[in-house]
Structure 1
């Protein structure tokens, strides 16, 4: 299938609803497991760890959209980025609710005390808080109200969120000396952020000679 045909498939009216349903599969799995005793010996930990892992996975997918679009020429991928970003927020909300409910019993004082006592929990909470303005401005009206440039600057917070989410995951797994999965996420996020940095420097290098040629130095 050539690029034009793939773009048509991605732009098909049924493509976005299908992706929307696929993104709900993890949640459906937990609901099914809850009704059929399929969440293991510690259901609370299964849900807490699962929601956290899927938040990080969706974050990696969102970061991958732009490089994939640029490398493959599948510009239709751009129409999915905002929805995928909202699923990052959706699963982060589930993760926080699982923590606040299953670990802390919905006790604000216990949550505040825990955040002050455990740095990895505080880092995860900070990443969650930073996601809120991104989710709140993921609509066309917000883009128009903020202006494209300010909106883009705000949404660069996703890089800080990725770093904080990875640090949260690392600290959580380091207590059990399980670094394999952390390394996978670190490599994926490192590559995706590295590609962006490389493209930015390359673009800046291409623009500078053009500016210089328009304003040549006058010498003796």
Structure 2
């Protein structure tokens, strides 16, 4: 059911394209909508662990991989639309755009960092890498989220509109603050026994 819901934004875009309902600038609609859903699924992925801890609903952990793959899929569609509709699959045009608009470089960086995360999302890759190395690699998702928010913010700045980016930046800030707090609490718990052992 949730998998089908994840495909709804894409299905909506396809339907609107086929029925010529993408507005006055269909290329921009496709690019912005796919990018926005990539960011939304990325934040949903980061929200799974806090929600699981707060609600005690262990089943939520199963959704993290699916949301992460949806984030990657929409990010890939976002880049493909940009590469095709804006630059006509011209690498030279993309490179010029990277120099002219830093937010393009930010978006491409986020997508490149998502590649190893998507490639290692299977159970087989978790076993090959080992749990510790796999978890260390997948902490890249925090860097991806930060870069993605900046990419979206800078892109909106070019259109003189920062209302939506502020909302997503706030959501990311809350999720990162939760992560930092949990890491600090874990280290504090571990330091206590070490100090006690050192006194013996």
TM over 0.5: yes
* Larger-Rg structure: 1
Report the counterpart of residue 34 of structure 2 in structure 1.
51
The equivalences for 1:136-155 within 5 A come to 136-155=119-138
1:68 CA drift (Å): 0.1
Which one of the candidate residues 90, 113, 117 is aligned to 1:107? Answer: 90
Match of 1:6 in 2: none
SS of match in other structure, 1:215: helix
Whether 1:85 and 2:85 are equivalent positions in the alignment is: no
Deviations 1:29-81 (A, max 9, x none): 01110111111111111000000100110011001000000000000000111
Structure 1 CA distance for aligned equivalents of residues 15 and 149 of structure 2: 29
- Find the counterpart in structure 2 of residue 170 from structure 1: 153
How far apart in 1 are the matches of 2:135 and 2:23?
A: 42
Partner of 1:30: 13
Partner of 2:46: 63
The residue number in structure 1 matching 2:109 is: 126
Classify the secondary structure of the residue corresponding to 2:89: coil
1:203 shift after superposition: 1.1
Equivalence for 1:208: 191
**Number of the residue aligned with 1:195:** 178
TM-score relative to the length of structure 2: 0.97
Q: State the Cα distance separating 1:114 from its structure 2 match.
A: 1.5
CA distance in 1, matches of 2:94, 2:159: 23
Q: Secondary structure at the match of 2:199?
A: coil
Displacement of 1:215: 2.4
Could you list the runs of 5+ residues in structure 2 that have no partner in the other structure?
none
SS of 1:105's equivalent in the other structure is: coil
1:144 is displaced (CA, Å) by 0.9
Give 1:3's aligned residue: none
Instruction: Point out where structure 1 has 5 or more consecutive residues left out of the alignment.
Output: 1-17
Moved segments of 4+, more than 6 Å: none
CA distance in 2 between counterparts of 1:137 and 1:176 reads 36
Following the alignment from structure 1 to structure 2, what is the Cα–Cα distance between the partners of residues 34 and 181?
24
Q: Give the alignment's Cα RMSD to 1 decimal.
A: 0.9
1:186 alignment partner, one of 160, 169, 175: 169
Q: CA deviation at 1:174?
A: 1.1
